[in-house]
Structure 1
Amino acid sequence: MPVSIVQADLDRPSGFQHLLKKAKEDLSSAKEKVIPIIQSVKENGDKAVKEFTEKFDSIRLDSVVLDPSSIQTNVPRDVQTAFLTAKKNIEEFHRAQKRDSWNVKVDGNLLGVKYTPIPSLAVYAPGGTALYPSSVLMGIIPAKIAGVKEIQLVTPPQKGGLPDILVWLAQILEIDRIVTVGGAQGIAAVAYGTETIPRSEFVVGPGNSYVAAAKSYLAGIGQIGIDSPAGPSEVCIIADESANPKWVACDMLSQAEHGEDSSAVLLTTSAKFAESVSKELEIAFVERPKRLEMKKKAIYENSCICIFPSLADCVTFSNLLAPEHLEIQTEDPHSVFGGIEHAGSVFLGNYSPVAMGDYISGTNHILPTAGGSRIYSSLGVDSFLKRVTFQEITKESLNRLYPHVKLMSELEGLDEEHGTSVKVRYEEDLK
C-alpha cells in the first residue's frame, strides 16, 4: 500500500481538499472529562490533586512540590554536553529577539511602548514514554530571557522517581520548583493554585489530549494564557529533482514517528521524484521497523505526495496548508522561501531536516499546528512579553485637539464625561 500520490491542480482542488481541512484535534469529548477534574481541583486543592494522581497514575503522593536543587541526579556526561550545546544555541537565538521599550513624538505628545514580562509560567513536561526534555529547554529559555520571574515545571510523578534528565534540566535552568502532578489535574493545579502549588498565569508545553483540553478550556475562560492550540505534528516538504529522495522520505518519517495522527505532505513538480520518494518510504519500513504500524498509519492515512505543475503552485498550496514545519529542498531554496507567508518554522536546503530545529539549531520547536501558523507564531521571547502603551499629553496639544475630541465624544454620546474630562482642562487654560 504505497503513499497516496496526487496529480494536483490548484484550479481543481478535489484531489487534495482533505489536506486543507487539517485534522485539528477534536477536544470536545476530552473537555467533557476534564471539566469536572478542573472544578474539583479549583475547589479542593491539594486533596483533589492527590486523589486524581492516585486514581490515574496509581501513585500516592505525600508532597506534590519538589525543590530541584535538593535532588541528586546522574546524567551521563555526553548527554549533558548535548543538552548544554542545545541550551547555548537556543539562548543565543532567543536573546536576539529581546525588545527595547520605545517612544515617539506624535502631534506634539510623547507616546510609546514599555515591554513587561508576564509574572509567572508553568512548563508542562509529559512523562513515561512521551518524555520530551528538549521541550523543557524550549519553554523555559525564552521565558527567562523575557524576564519571567516565577517558573515551575509540571510533570507526572513516576514510580521510580522523576527522570534524572528532567531534574538536571530544572537545576541548570534554575527554575523555582517541580510540581509532580500530570494530566488535567496538573494543569488545573497551576492554573488556580493550591495550598502548596503557586498559581501560574501562563502554561506551555506538549501533552496528551486531556492536557490539551485542559489548557484550551482554561484559556477559553481567561484563567491562563497558553501557547497556540496544539494538534498532531506535521511537516510539509517542497522539493524538486535536485533533492535526495531518501533524505526526503526520512524527513517524512521523522514526523510520522510522533504518532499515527501525524502527517507528512510532499509537494513537488516531478512525477519521477514522487515515485522515488514513495519507494524510499517502503524501503525504510523494512529497514527501520521500530514503531512500524504507527508510522505506516501516519503515512498511508494522513500523508500525501502532491505533484503540481510549478514550484509557484507548490508555494501557493503550502501557504494554504500553513504547516507546522516546512522544509524547502530545491535548487534555490531562498527564492522559494521568498513566497512563503505562513509556516511555523522553515528549514532551508538539503541539510536542514526538522530534527535539527527540534533539538539543537536554536530555533523554538513549540509551534502552531493544524493551519495555526496563519494567525500564530512559534514560541519565543515575545510570547512572554506584554506591551504597555503610554502617553504624555502636552497642554498645547490638548488645547489644539480638544475641538476634535468634543465632536467625537458627542457623536458617540459620551460627551458628558469623556468630553468634559478634556474640556475642563481646555477651559482652565483659557482663564
Structure 2
Amino acid sequence: MIARTDLRGRPLDTASLRQVLPRGEFDVEAALVAVRPICDQVHHGGARALRELGERFDGVRPEQLRVPGDALQAALAQLDGAVRAALQESIRRARLVHRDQRRQDVTTQVSAGGRVTERWIPVGRVGLYAPGGLAVLASSVVMNAVPAQEAGVPSIALASPPQRENPARFAGMPHPTVLAACALLGIDEVYAVGGAQAIAMFAYGAREDDGTVVCEPVNLVTGPGNIYVVAAKRLLKGLIGIDSEAGPTEIAVLADDSADPVLVAADLISQAEHDPMAASVLITPDAELADAVEAELAVQVAATKHTERVRQALSGRQSAIVLVDDLDAGLVVCDAYAAEHLEIHTREPAAVAARVRNAGAIFVGPYAPVSLGDYLAGSNHVLPTGGCACHSSGLSVQSFLRGVHVVEYDRAALAEVADHVVALADAEDLPGHGDAVRARARDRG
C-alpha cells in the first residue's frame, strides 16, 4: 500500500535527497492554461460571468452572488449544537494565539535629530477563500478570518463555492456550515463563488451589467484551494497579494522505536483522507516500527470511511516510509523534506523538535496529532506545502500587516551624513541623489 525508500548508508546532502524523497506532481503551470480564460471572463463579464461559471463548474447558477444576511443567521440557527460549540472553542483558542502575534510599532533613534519608525498597518481589504470540494472546510474559515481580524483588517470578504446538494433553502449558496462559521465570526460579506473565478472576482471586483457593484476588489487573497485556485493566485499575483501557492496537504512523522504504530498509522491516514494527492511520509531508523505501521495501515485503511481516497494517497508517489540510519539522519531528512505538518514520535520529543529547522508546524509527542492543529490547538492550519516550509511561514497576523518605515530627520541630522550620501551617490553614478542632499545643505537665505 505504501512504498519504502531506504536511505540507510546513503548520502544525505540536499541535492541527493531532492532526487529521492517522495513528492507528488502539482503542475500549476499546466493549470494556468485553463485558468487564464476563466479570469479573463470574470474581468470582462463581471457578475454575469460569475453566474455562468458557477453553472458550468458547480452545477448551480447562483442568482444572488452575495449571500443574504438572513441566510447566514439561518445557517447558524440550524447548526448542530456540538459543531457550534466546537467552532466557538476553535475561534476562542485561535484568538488567544493570534492576538499575541500583533506587532508593535518601533522607533529607533539613529542620531540626535534622526529617527526611523516602523509602523505596522493592516491591509485595507482581504478576500478569504473557503473550499467546498471533497471536504467542506469550515475550519479554514476560522483559520483565515481570525488572524485577519486580529491584525485589524477593516474590510473582509469570503467566497466559497455554491452547493448543489444543500437543502432547498441553501440551494445555490455555500455550505451551511461555512455560512454558520462566517456568522459566528461576524463576517457578513460572503459570496457564492468558487474556484479560479472567486480569485478573479477578488482581484478585479465584479459589477452587474447595469454597473451596480457586486464585489469591490481586494488587496490580498488568502485561503486553500485546488490547483485551479492556486493557478489563479499565481496568474493574478501582483494585482493582488497572495498568502502562498499551497499544494495538496502533507504530513511527515519522525519516529523511533518508542513510537506507537497504531497512532502513527492513524495520523498518516488522517492526512491521506483529505485528497488522493495528499502526502503521508514516515521517517524512521527502526525497520520493525516500519513493518508494524504498514500492518496497521492495512487494518485501519480498510476500516476508515474514505478507504479508496486514502488508499490512493498512501500508494501514490508522494507517500512513503523512509528508512534512515538514526535520528540525526532522520532530522536531516525532515529538514530536506520541509513538511507542512511534522509530528515527532520519539523519546524526548521536545528536544528532538527543537532541532528541526524546516516545517510548517511541529507537533510534539503522541498527544499532539495534526488533527488537533487542524481544529483546536490554537495554531494556524494554513501552512506552506511542497517543501516551501524551508523559506515560508504559515498564515498569521503578520500575513495581514505591512511594515512601513517612517523617516524623520532634521537639518542637523541630514548634514551629519550628507557627505556619505553624496559619496555613495557618486559611486553609483547617480549625481541627482547627491544634488538633492546638497540642495538642502545650501543656505537659501
Asked if the contact 2:160/2:191 (under 8 Å) is kept, the reply is yes
Tell me the alpha carbon deviations over residues 264-311 of structure 1, each in whole angstroms, 9 at most, x when there is no partner. Answer: 1111121111111111111212333x2222212222223222222221
Provide the C-alpha distance between the structure 1 equivalents of 2:57 and 2:3, rounded to a whole number of angstroms. 38
Asked if 1:292 is matched to 2:307, the reply is yes
Provide the C-alpha distance between the structure 2 equivalents of 1:271 and 1:129, rounded to a whole number of angstroms. 34
Q: 1:8 to 1:67 in 2, by over 3 A?
A: farther
Alignment match, 2:192: 180
Provide the C-alpha distance between the structure 1 equivalents of 2:295 and 2:282, rounded to a whole number of angstroms. 14
Q: Select between 266-275 and 296-305 the one with higher mean Cα deviation.
A: 296-305
Asked if 1:358 is matched to 2:374, the reply is yes
Provide the C-alpha distance between the structure 1 equivalents of 2:283 and 2:9, rounded to a whole number of angstroms. 12
Tell me the alpha carbon deviations over residues 16-49 of structure 1, each in whole angstroms, 9 at most, x when there is no partner. Answer: 6555473351022321111011112111211211
Asked if the contact 1:68/1:167 (under 8 Å) is kept, the reply is no
Matching residue within 266, 274, 285 for 1:258: 274
Alignment match, 2:287: 271
Tell me the secondary structure at the aligned position of residue 4 of structure 1: strand
Asked if the contact 1:68/1:170 (under 8 Å) is kept, the reply is no
Pairs within 5 Å for 1:193-232: 193-195=205-207, 196-219=214-237, 222-232=238-248
Provide the C-alpha distance between the structure 1 equivalents of 2:436 and 2:2, rounded to a whole number of angstroms. 72
Asked if the contact 2:275/2:313 (under 8 Å) is kept, the reply is yes
Cα displacement (A) at 1:427: 2.1
Alignment match, 1:127: 132
Alignment match, 1:170: 182
Asked if 1:79 is matched to 2:97, the reply is no
Alignment match, 1:113: 118
Alignment match, 1:382: 398
Pairs within 5 Å for 1:309-328: 309-328=325-344
Pairs within 5 Å for 1:296-311: 296-301=311-316, 302-311=318-327
Tell me the secondary structure at the aligned position of residue 373 of structure 1: helix
- Could you tell me which runs of 5 or more consecutive residues in structure 1 were left unpaired when the two chains were aligned: none
Alignment match, 1:406: 422
Q: 1:131 to 1:426 in 2, by over 3 A?
A: same
Asked if the contact 2:135/2:274 (under 8 Å) is kept, the reply is no
Cα displacement (A) at 1:15: 9.2
Asked if 1:420 is matched to 2:438, the reply is no
Alignment match, 2:26: 25
Tell me the alpha carbon deviations over residues 58-113 of structure 1, each in whole angstroms, 9 at most, x when there is no partner. Answer: 32332211233554220121111111011100110101101110111113321120
Cα displacement (A) at 1:7: 4.5
Alignment match, 2:356: 340
Alignment match, 1:8: 8
Cα displacement (A) at 1:197: 1.2
Cα displacement (A) at 1:419: 0.9
Alignment match, 1:96: 100
Provide the C-alpha distance between the structure 2 equivalents of 1:110 and 1:128, rounded to a whole number of angstroms. 51
Quote the RMSD (CA, aligned, Å).
1.9
Tell me the secondary structure at the aligned position of residue 206 of structure 2: coil
Provide the C-alpha distance between the structure 2 equivalents of 1:22 and 1:395, rounded to a whole number of angstroms. 58
Q: 1:64 to 1:2 in 2, by over 3 A?
A: closer
Asked if the contact 1:10/1:313 (under 8 Å) is kept, the reply is no
Provide the C-alpha distance between the structure 2 equivalents of 1:285 and 1:339, rounded to a whole number of angstroms. 32
Q: 1:362 to 1:310 in 2, by over 3 A?
A: same
Give the count of matched residue pairs.
426
Asked if the contact 1:246/1:277 (under 8 Å) is kept, the reply is yes
Tell me the alpha carbon deviations over residues 207-252 of structure 1, each in whole angstroms, 9 at most, x when there is no partner. Answer: 2221121112111xx1111111111111111111111111011111
Matching residue within 160, 165, 175 for 1:155: 160
Cα displacement (A) at 1:411: 1.4
Alignment match, 1:192: 204
Asked if 1:368 is matched to 2:384, the reply is yes
- Could you tell me which runs of 5 or more consecutive residues in structure 2 were left unpaired when the two chains were aligned: 208-213
Asked if the contact 1:4/1:300 (under 8 Å) is kept, the reply is no
Provide the C-alpha distance between the structure 1 equivalents of 2:69 and 2:197, rounded to a whole number of angstroms. 21
Asked if the contact 1:274/1:305 (under 8 Å) is kept, the reply is yes
Cα displacement (A) at 1:339: 1.6
Tell me the secondary structure at the aligned position of residue 93 of structure 2: helix
Q: TM-score when scaled to structure 2?
A: 0.91
Q: TM-score when scaled to structure 1?
A: 0.94
Alignment match, 2:36: 35
Provide the C-alpha distance between the structure 2 equivalents of 1:373 and 1:2, rounded to a whole number of angstroms. 24
Cα displacement (A) at 1:409: 1.0
Q: 1:364 to 1:176 in 2, by over 3 A?
A: same
Alignment match, 1:63: 64
Asked if the contact 2:130/2:223 (under 8 Å) is kept, the reply is yes
Percent same amino acid at aligned positions? Answer: 35
